[in-house]
Chains A and B, each alone.
Chain A
Amino acid sequence: MKAEELVKQIEEKLGTLGVRPEVANVGRAIGVADGIVRADGLSRAGYGEQVEFEDGRRGLIMNLDEDVASILVLSEDTSVPEGMEVRATGTPLSLQVSEDLLGRVIDPFGTALDGKPLSVSGGARMALEKIAPGVTKRAPVDKPLKTGVKAVDALTPIGRGQRQLLVGDRNTGKTAIVVDTIINQRRRDLNLPPVICVYCAIGQKRGNIAAIVQKLQDEGAMAYTIVVAASASTPASMQYLAPFAACAIGEYFMAKGQDALVVYDDLSRHAWAYRQISLLLARPAGREAYPGDIFYLHSRLLERAARMSSAEGGGSLTALPIIQTQAGDISAYIPTNVISITDGQIYLETDLFNSGVRPAVNAGLSVSRVGGKAQSKALRQVSGVMRLELAQYQTLAAFSQFGSDLDEATQKRITRGKRIVEILKQPQFAPMDDFSQVIAIHAAGAGLLDDVPLEKVIEFERRSVDHLRTGHAALSEKIATGGSMDAATVKELEAAISELARNLR
């Protein structure tokens, strides 16, 4: 080939645009109402596919009928003029996830809500809806996710990859527990790998979300936390998608072999948002006007929580959904649905809360089906005894008003039970490490505080950790590893605790 020919070829190539024609499947809005657009055309669009309106706004196909598609408008402004063109994109809803999101407050589409510019570079595009990992890709839950809350870590321990529900009436401290859990991840308790936290606020007041973000910032927890917010003032579509976006973010970190925690606060409001959408889509209403697939909505979301096998990277996604009950009715439709999906529940009771027991965990109705295997050996060893004592106390508590009329054994049980209840109280934003929990729980469960006045139990707890760390350093180090305690260690610990308890009598 001659040089002139090459020049000619290059000139020809540069002279053409070299653009592939754009092929699009389009429709037109023929009806608009309450954030739902009915569009004709879109013959090639699929269920759950993302569509794009002429003005750049996005929508989600929720229903495909013979001639029309029902589209959920995915923006705060849901007004769409009739006749507006809408294009199928052929892609499901997704958002770009990377480490750049850490410390940020975003909406379900990854747009920053904290007023600072956000540029997500690298990472991966994560689909909001995804099939949960299959059984062969999973491994058993075996590592603890320490909440730092004694009552939870001792009675209903949570493992990494578990789905643990927090259920209770309004103002019973559900959010307080999850915020404490997020704050506690700052501490690398038991030398566990760090946990990336995703807090998903659904249908909450903006003021409440701002207060939580502020608290997390003050405690230095935003460094490893992402907040996905769809406040009460956002359309139902945003509230419906928020937990799926939060889950997709958690999955990104899980796929990288890291441990992630996703808090859904709360799924009751999520169910309300989905009910609203379903009714507007004219889907048949079922019990309490919820659509027929309300169970599947939550099961497909929570099934995505998993502990992956080492072949799959060994990451985990722990889910802490919250459900708000009305008048303590945990047998209502949505609470029973989510209870049956999750691996256990922590039930918070209004009466306990009002009587000063905080966190107001009802030990009888709370359970963790898989977390026990993930508990540290030392804590498992001491909490088993305490659980038994607490159960016996709860049975006898009704008789406590008879006082001295009771036999000595019953009085002893009641005395011990009262101290266990006292030791399980914990102030907010003060999560405890495994070592402190083991000491406090063993002291109360083994009856070492039976002679300590009830009002001095808190003081005992405050002084016990320092007492052991300064006076019994070798023993403290041994317990702090989380390994099981042999008889000699237990004896030494009891001697050290009794020494302090004697001083408080």
Chain B
Amino acid sequence: MKRLVALVLTEDGDVREDVAARILAELSRAQLKLFLAALRRELKRRVVQVALAGDPGKGLDPAMKRAYPGRAVRVQPDRALGAGVKVSAGDDIVDASVQGYIRKIIEELGST
């Protein structure tokens, strides 16, 4: 399914309509379910979600573009983080927030 998703999506995130039409016509219902799951995963992978406790500074956007080239960056405020930033790119999460730090301390205290 990964190969089909790669075929139907362009680098910019657009859909190749001829390929999409063939997929819709030829895949069975079960295969379509798998294709949909794979497509959702790929779309999620292409978008970098940035949660920020405060206001995004000017340097954030270029820094994200450098770190995740070719991916769309969506910034959302999240006051629950306390301070810092949490970046989700596909199934990778980089947590540099106070919330994450406190959670880690609680986990470590719990395991000792």
Query: Nearest chain-A residue to B101 (Cβ)?
Result: A19
Q: Are B90 and A67 in contact (CB under 8 A)?
A: no
A24 on interface, CB distance cutoff 8 Å: yes
A residues neighboring B (CB under 8 Å): 17, 19, 21-27, 30, 40-44, 56, 66-67
CB nearest to B92 among chain A residues: A25
- Bound-state CA distance A23–B96 (Å) is 9
Given contacts A17-B98, A66-B1, A67-B2, contact A56 B91 (CB under 8 A): no
Chain A residues closer than 8 Å to B101, beta-carbon distance: 17, 19
Q: Do A43 and B96 touch (CB < 8 A)?
A: no
Contact A26 B91 (CB under 8 A): yes
User: Count the B residues whose beta carbon is within 8 Å of the partner chain — how many?
Assistant: 19
A339, B92: Cα distance in complex, Å: 47
A23 to B90, Cβ gap below 8 A? no
24 A-B pairs with C-beta separation under 8 A = A17-B98, A17-B101, A19-B96, A21-B94, A21-B95, A22-B104, A23-B93, A24-B93, A24-B94, A25-B91, A25-B92, A25-B93, A27-B91, A30-B37, A40-B37, A41-B91, A43-B91, A43-B92, A44-B91, A44-B92, A56-B110, A66-B1, A67-B37, A67-B41
In the assembled complex, how far is the CB of residue A354 from the closest CB belonging to chain B, in whole angstroms? 52
Query: In the assembled complex, which residues on chain A have CB atoms less than 8 Å from the CB atom of B90?
Result: 41, 43
Q: Which residue of chain A is the closest to B107 with respect to CB atoms?
A: A56
Q: Is the CB of B92 within 8 A of A24?
A: yes
Q: Does any Cβ of A come within 8 Å of B75's Cβ?
A: no
Closest A-B pairs by Cβ, 4 of them: A21-B96, A41-B91, A22-B95, A24-B93
Other A-B contacts than A40-B37, A40-B91, 19 sampled, CB-CB below 8 A, are A17-B98, A17-B101, A21-B95, A22-B93, A22-B94, A22-B95, A23-B93, A23-B94, A24-B93, A26-B92, A30-B37, A41-B41, A41-B91, A42-B91, A43-B90, A56-B107, A66-B1, A67-B37, A67-B41
Point out the residue from A17, A24, A40, A43 that lies within 8 Å of B95, measured CB to CB.
A24
Chain B: minimal CB distance from A107 (Å): 16
How many Å lie between the Cα of A21 and that of B98 in the bound state? Answer: 10
Cα distance A24–B89 in the bound complex, in angstroms: 11
Residues of A within 8 A of B94 (CB): 21-24
- Cross-chain contact A67 with B1 (CB below 8 angstroms): yes
In the complex, the chain A residue whose C-beta lies closest to that of B40 is A40
Find chain B residues with CB under 8 A from A24 CB. 92-95
Name A119's closest neighbour in chain B (CB-CB): B112
B88 to chain A, nearest CB (A): 9
Whether the pair A26, B93 counts as a contact (CB closer than 8 A) is: yes
* CB neighbors of A among B50-108 (8 A): 90-96, 98, 100-101, 104, 107
